[in-house]
Structure 1
Amino acid sequence: MSDRTATRRGALKGIGATVAAATGITAFSVSGAAQSPWTAVESPTGNTLHDVEYTDEGAYAVGGGGVVLERTPLGWQKIVDGGPTGNGNSLYGADVTDDGKRLWFVGSSGAIGEYDVESGVLTDHSAPMDVTNNFNDVSVTGRADEANVYVAGDSGKMYYSFENGASQTWEYVTPGSGSAINAVDFFDDRKGHIVDGNKSVFRTSDGATWDKIGLADANVNFYGVDSDGFDDVWISGGGGMIFHWDGVEWTPADTGDAGLRDIEVTDDDSDGLTVGGGGKVYDLDEKWNQQATPSGQNLKAVVRGSTDIAVGSGGTIVER
């Protein structure tokens, strides 16, 4: 994905066409379930895991009760319990600096943490501007100690700091109607996307101001966004729906009825994964193929890497 890691997402340009049937857009084909090398691995927590990311030191997952897990040669181990404040606030989103050295995570009651994966030092940035609302997701760009930090608020606000989350550097903006912002992702320092609970997609080119760009007549909520450039954006949502923007039009794919909570696609669109309710996993190989998994638990997030990892309810971790 341009000059960032394969898990980065990006910004749209222009207003997308509607995805209603009347548009005549042909949907991606979707095949049925097939065998898959996904395996369940032992988890050190029974709390729901909401996000998973790769750093230079390996994979990390975050979840309920403020747990942070690290994937080690001896298996997954708990390295933080209670979140950045120690109060047990659940963590809902995570992201990694461009150099892979810092893991940022956000969650309930204004929780924001920055974890140095090399030294093991955890820095608490919680309650910026004295805000203690729930934070649903985070995207960071730039290197450790120099990051731009973008936090998606449950109250419909985007909070941002261009100075590594330092006190007195935070600002906020309300891009839409005040509906919860469910996911955020940036493909460049100040260029990115958000999706909210009002079936809306917004883009920014400066990290501070947002323009609504769709998605008309989608008729489902949006939960995940993965963009690889101005003309290559993927969205996952309710009712098993996936939407792709190619710079000209939106193309929908209907995988079934499971809400799809997260999506990751390569920058050349040759491979991708999306996960959701009931342990559903779909793999992109020209078309979206359902893959069998060893868990029926709801999956919340997925990351691609040397080992692909999906996490979800009850501390579920599956790998391939």
Structure 2
Amino acid sequence: MFIGSHPDLLDLWPFREDSIYVVGKDGIPQHYDGTEWLPVRTENANPLMGIWASDENNIYAVGVGGVVLHYQDKKWTQIDTGSYDSLNAAYGYDRDSVFIYGVGGRLLFWGGDQWHYREPNTIHDLFCMWGTDINNIHAVGGEGTYRFHDGKQFQRKDEL
């Protein structure tokens, strides 16, 4: 199945039964093609914590040390966002609306042309986001952090 040891897997993104990506602590994305798991070649060695995709030609994997890997046009490239804070996950609504987030409330947004820092109104780690569209996104994190994105900014909700 995997080359070398069996790494801790931390996230996955399935497109179909014959196209699944996983990421984990070894820093090597793996792709299942319906027959076998194959490692994805990148220059990354840092653990990867999360993966998100709008489609099979637009995939983001994020991890420790602020690493951001992007798959497009049949190749993976490492993106320099200017941040070295560890990232826990990515979430988006479409290819031009992508959030990456993680340790200490670090939150960056891809709006189609460049990465922008977004104020999450928290210093706590962010772990998960989900929404129905760019105007309705919920985020949760450490110490009971709960934020809501209304399309313009993240607002504090009652802490849990």
Asked if these proteins are the same fold (TM beyond 0.5), I'd say yes
Report which of the two structures shows the higher radius of gyration computed on alpha carbons. 1
Which of the residues 73, 76, 88 maps onto 1:250? 76
| CA RMSD between the two structures | 1.8
Q: Identify the residue that residue 139 of structure 2 maps to in structure 1.
A: 310
Q: Identify the residue that residue 64 of structure 2 maps to in structure 1.
A: 238
Asked whether the 8 Å contact 1:242–1:253 carries over to 2, the reply is: yes
Q: Identify the residue that residue 203 of structure 1 maps to in structure 2.
A: 31
SS at match of 1:278: helix
Which of the residues 2, 5, 11 maps onto 1:183? 11
Q: What CA distance in whole angstroms lies between the structure 2 residues aligned with 1:288 and 1:211?
A: 30
Shift of 1:198: 0.9
Q: What CA distance in whole angstroms lies between the structure 1 residues aligned with 2:48 and 2:17?
A: 23
Q: What CA distance in whole angstroms lies between the structure 2 residues aligned with 1:290 and 1:185?
A: 25
Q: Identify the residue that residue 279 of structure 1 maps to in structure 2.
A: 105
Alignment of 1:21-100 (within 5 A): none
Larger relative contact order (Cα-Cα within 8 Å, sequence gap ≥ 6): 1
Q: Identify the residue that residue 226 of structure 1 maps to in structure 2.
A: 52
Q: What CA distance in whole angstroms lies between the structure 1 residues aligned with 2:45 and 2:17?
A: 31
2:47 counterpart letter in structure 1: N
Q: What CA distance in whole angstroms lies between the structure 1 residues aligned with 2:92 and 2:73?
A: 16
Q: What CA distance in whole angstroms lies between the structure 1 residues aligned with 2:100 and 2:54?
A: 15
Q: Identify the residue that residue 194 of structure 1 maps to in structure 2.
A: 22
Shift of 1:308: 0.9
Residues 266, 308 of structure 1: alpha-carbon distance in 2 compared, 3 angstrom cutoff: closer
Gaps of at least 5 residues in structure 2 are 150-160
Q: What CA distance in whole angstroms lies between the structure 1 residues aligned with 2:138 and 2:130?
A: 5
Alignment of 1:10-25 (within 5 A): none
SS at match of 1:304: strand
Q: What CA distance in whole angstroms lies between the structure 1 residues aligned with 2:100 and 2:130?
A: 9
| Structure with more strand by fraction | 2
Q: What CA distance in whole angstroms lies between the structure 2 residues aligned with 1:311 and 1:231?
A: 28
2:87 counterpart letter in structure 1: L
Asked whether the 8 Å contact 2:41–2:76 carries over to 1, the reply is: no
Shift of 1:221: 1.5
Asked whether the 8 Å contact 1:262–1:274 carries over to 2, the reply is: yes
Q: What CA distance in whole angstroms lies between the structure 1 residues aligned with 2:90 and 2:40?
A: 19
Q: What CA distance in whole angstroms lies between the structure 1 residues aligned with 2:72 and 2:30?
A: 16
SS at match of 2:27: coil
2:26 counterpart letter in structure 1: N
Asked whether the 8 Å contact 1:230–1:247 carries over to 2, the reply is: no
TM-score (norm 2): 0.80
Shift of 1:248: 3.4
Deviant stretches of 4+, over 6 Å = none
Q: Identify the residue that residue 155 of structure 2 maps to in structure 1.
A: none
SS at match of 2:143: helix
Bigger drift between 305-314 and 272-281 goes to 305-314
Q: What CA distance in whole angstroms lies between the structure 1 residues aligned with 2:142 and 2:93?
A: 26
Q: What CA distance in whole angstroms lies between the structure 2 residues aligned with 1:213 and 1:277?
A: 25
